[in-house]
């Protein structure tokens, strides 16, 4: 049968080849993020675990055991340096923990306010403000912590009880990181809270609930899986946060859980070492990749857990 | 042209006398000249209706006639809808519930509601029934346990669930879920129960159970029920009110509405000529 015999409605509008081209272009877009991830893992592994060629990888010089359990992080100590990740891990976990203490109540409270209490006018006002907060560069937050939160809020507060707060401290770093991830928790939680069916709220109101009863007893429990996933994502975001903690938290790698002291975080060390003047293949430079792997492993684990929580505890509404 | 005869009306459920003149009963609800608006759009026009105590009043009419909206004004459920406005008087046991001094939270405990779609909370069966009393501040476990048992019995669900009270309510069948919602409403100790098409999503056997339950409950509670199903209205109610385009066309004893309505519109709707 030739083309000419086809009726008008049966003639192809776009060619088969053109459609294939579109498909390929879209596939490339999707593949880009996968390829990037693969490349990052490759770079980390070839520098930390096994280096092809003349270079020596980090774990070929420092034992994995020392790296994981060592309590001293001194890349330029004597000839070899000491590479125990515990001090950096302490710094990172303290910042992320303090950030969670700030952002979980603030973010969840904001989400509940926006979905259960605020009228359309308040919401129109609040949403853009939260988006602006999320758009502020983290270096600005770092200086905000260093130049405002520490000297103007924390120092006077602690001097009242006779404690002299250090200029660099993980408390202020944790607080600003908490402020930074609050919009993330607020918007993710609000999405899941809004997906709780209206009929459940009406049923609760019809039983003599106040707005607070409905929020706390019905809506939050029904949306719990999504809210937990939001917390975990925000926590992993806080772990990966770099500039603010480098500026406000200081550069001393000390194994401490005292938030009033300065402490270097994993990301803080990476910035510090990569801008330093050590040789490109020196062990202190190579240690960046080992810390990078550790960071990658932690955040990946948390993201996987949060995905699992979301699936496992999702309420099914008919 | 008598299109309808009393023999074509299905028998009523036990506990409902459709010929009874309810005008002698004290009024549980009295609505006077009610207008209702969604923003600028008026959906109820000058509705006046008296609901006698311990009786079943059925609200019927085609879709969009305002019967559900009317029902939802009786516990101020429409307050939740942005831009809604209500003018007129609604007396519940003599108290105007549109008075700003009336606490809407307490009102809704007094005037319970069962919805078209069964809405069990994603909690256990026990926690579903205990929800209302807990919100009201009851924490004593044995008081709650007694209350849950008695409400589940009143809702004719106890025997089916007594061995799995701690299991999720979401696992119950549709009919069981709806009876659970009725039990949950009873647990707040209301005097009046509003039902918005409570059986429209259920199979015939479950519908039957709900209808018989209504017949039992009306000995102690005042019930107002919206229904699409005219057979159902004729089976379960003492009094029937016919709404059309936001106007209450006619109200009277159920037997009279179904066999000898005064209005032509009512007769046309009852006999299935429209709607």
Is B115's CB within 8 Å of A203's CB?
yes
Do the Cβ atoms of A242 and A274 come closer than 8 Å? Answer: no
| Chain A residues lying within 8 Å of B109, measured CB to CB | 207-208
Name which of A240-249, B5-14, B33-42 the model is least confident about.
B5-14
Do the Cβ atoms of A229 and A307 come closer than 8 Å? Answer: yes
Distance from C-alpha of A282 to C-alpha of A286, rounded to nearest angstrom:
6
Residue A207: which of B117, B122, B135 has the nearest Cβ?
A: B135
Q: Quickly state the pLDDT bin for A273 (edges 50, 70, 90).
A: confident
Structure tokens at B6: 């009393």
pLDDT at B19: 74
Length of chain A: 318
| Chain B residues lying within 8 Å of A208, measured CB to CB | 105-106, 108-109, 132, 135-136, 188
Is B121's CB within 8 Å of A119's CB?
no
Q: How many CB atoms sit inside 10 A of residue A220's CB? A: 19
Is A206's CB within 8 Å of B105's CB?
no
Q: Which of A311, A106, A306, A132 is nearest to A190 (CA)?
A: A106
Whether B4 has a pLDDT exceeding 60, the answer reads no
Which residues does residue B29 pair with via DSSP β-bridges, in sequence order?
A: B51, B92
| Nearest chain B residue (CA) to A202 | B77
Q: Quickly state the pLDDT bin for B2 (edges 50, 70, 90).
A: very low
Q: What is the mean pLDDT of residues A128-140?
A: 90
Whether A91 has a pLDDT exceeding 70, the answer reads yes
Is A210's CB within 8 Å of B105's CB?
yes
- Write the pLDDT tens digit of every residue in B222-257: 999 999 889 999 999 999 999 999 999 999 999 999
| Chain A residues lying within 8 Å of B188, measured CB to CB | 207-208
User: Among B108, B138, B180, B201, which would you mutate to test the A interface (most chain A Cβ atoms within 10 Å of its Cβ)?
Assistant: B108
> How much is the mean pLDDT over chain A?
89
More confidently predicted of A292 and B10: A292
Distance from C-alpha of B203 to C-alpha of B195, rounded to nearest angstrom:
17
Helices (H), A151-197: 155-160, 170-194
Is A206's CB within 8 Å of B135's CB?
no
Element (H, E) at B167: none
Residue with tokens 């294939």: A20
| Chain B residues lying within 8 Å of A197, measured CB to CB | 119
| Chain B residues lying within 8 Å of A117, measured CB to CB | none
Domains, chain B, ranges and CATH? 18-270 (3.40.50.300)
Question: Structure pTM?
Answer: 0.84
> How much is the mean pLDDT over chain B?
91
Whether B3 has a pLDDT exceeding 60, the answer reads no
pLDDT at A1: 47
Residue with tokens 């048992």: B149
Residue B113: which of A120, A206, A217 has the nearest Cβ?
A: A206
Residue with tokens 């060629």: A53
Do the Cβ atoms of A88 and A73 come closer than 8 Å? Answer: yes
Is B185's CB within 8 Å of A197's CB?
no
Which residues does residue B251 pair with via DSSP β-bridges, in sequence order?
A: B241
Task: Give yes or no for B123 touching A (CB within 8 A).
Answer: yes
Structure tokens at A258: 């005292």
Is A205's CB within 8 Å of B135's CB?
no
User: Among A198, A207, A316, which would you mutate to test the B interface (most chain B Cβ atoms within 10 Å of its Cβ)?
Assistant: A207
DSSP letters along A139-160, please?
Answer: HHHHHHIIIIIIIIIIHHHHHH
Half-sphere exposure of B156 (CA within 13 A, CB side): 15
Distance from C-alpha of A284 to C-alpha of B77, rounded to nearest angstrom:
67
Domains, chain A, ranges and CATH? 82-312 (1.10.3720.10)
């Amino acid at each position: 049968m030739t083309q000419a015999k086809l009726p008008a409605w049966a003639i192809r509008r776009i060619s088969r080849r053109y459609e294939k081209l579109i498909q390929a272009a879209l596939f490339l877009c999707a593949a880009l993020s996968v390829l990037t991830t693969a490349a990052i893992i490759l770079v980390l592994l070839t520098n930390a675990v096994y280096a092809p060629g003349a270079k020596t990888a980090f774990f070929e010089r420092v034992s994995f055991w020392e790296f994981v359990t060592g309590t001293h992080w001194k890349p330029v100590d004597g000839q070899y340096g000491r590479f125990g990740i515990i001090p950096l891990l302490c710094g990172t976990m303290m910042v992320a923990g303090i950030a969670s203490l700030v952002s979980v109540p603030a973010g969840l409270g904001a989400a509940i306010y926006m979905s259960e209490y605020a009228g359309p006018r308040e919401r129109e006002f609040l949403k853009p403000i939260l988006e602006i907060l999320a758009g502020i560069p983290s270096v600005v937050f770092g200086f905000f912590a260093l130049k405002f939160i520490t000297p103007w809020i924390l120092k006077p507060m602690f001097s009242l009880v006779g404690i002299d707060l250090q200029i660099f401290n993980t408390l202020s770093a944790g607080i600003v990181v908490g402020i930074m991830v609050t919009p993330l928790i607020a918007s993710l939680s609000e999405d899941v809270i809004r997906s709780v069916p209206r009929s459940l709220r009406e049923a609760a109101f019809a039983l003599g609930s106040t707005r607070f009863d409905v929020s706390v007893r019905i809506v939050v429990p029904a949306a719990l899986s999504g809210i937990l996933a939001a917390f975990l994502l925000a926590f992993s975001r806080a772990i990966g946060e770099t500039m603010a903690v480098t500026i406000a938290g200081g550069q001393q790698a000390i194994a401490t859980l005292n938030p009033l002291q300065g402490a270097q975080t994993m990301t803080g060390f990476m910035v510090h070492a990569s801008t330093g003047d050590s040789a490109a293949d020196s062990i202190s430079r190579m240690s960046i990749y080992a810390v990078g792997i550790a960071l990658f492993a932690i955040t990946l684990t948390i993201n996987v857990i949060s995905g699992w929580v979301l699936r496992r505890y999702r309420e099914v509404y008919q | 042209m008598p299109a309808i005869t009393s023999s074509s009306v299905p028998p009523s459920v036990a506990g409902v006398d459709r010929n009874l003149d309810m005008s002698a009963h004290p009024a549980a609800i009295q609505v006077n000249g009610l207008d209702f608006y969604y923003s600028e759009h008026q959906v109820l026009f000058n509705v006046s209706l008296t609901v006698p105590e311990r009786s079943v009043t059925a609200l019927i009419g085609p879709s969009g006639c305002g019967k559900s909206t009317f029902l939802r004004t009786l516990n101020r459920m429409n307050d939740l809808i942005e831009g809604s406005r209500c003018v007129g008087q609604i007396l519940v046991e003599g108290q105007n519930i549109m008075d700003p001094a009336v606490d809407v939270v307490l009102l809704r405990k007094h005037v319970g509601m069962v919805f078209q779609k069964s809405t069990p909370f994603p909690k256990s069966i026990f926690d579903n029934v205990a929800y209302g009393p807990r919100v009201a501040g009851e924490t004593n476990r044995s008081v709650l346990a007694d209350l849950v048992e008695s409400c589940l019995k009143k809702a004719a669900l106890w025997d089916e669930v007594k061995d799995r009270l701690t299991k999720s309510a979401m696992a119950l069948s549709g009919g069981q879920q709806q009876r659970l919602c009725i039990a949950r409403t009873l647990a707040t100790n209301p005097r009046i129960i509003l039902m918005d098409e409570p059986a429209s999503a259920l199979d015939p056997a479950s519908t039957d159970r709900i209808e018989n339950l209504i017949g039992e409950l009306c000995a102690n509670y005042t019930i107002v029920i919206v229904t699409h199903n005219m057979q159902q209205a004729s089976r379960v109610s003492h009094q029937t009110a016919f709404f059309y385009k936001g106007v209450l066309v006619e109200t009277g004893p159920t037997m009279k509405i179904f066999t000898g309505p005064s209005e032509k519109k009512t007769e046309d709707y009852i006999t299935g000529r429209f709607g």
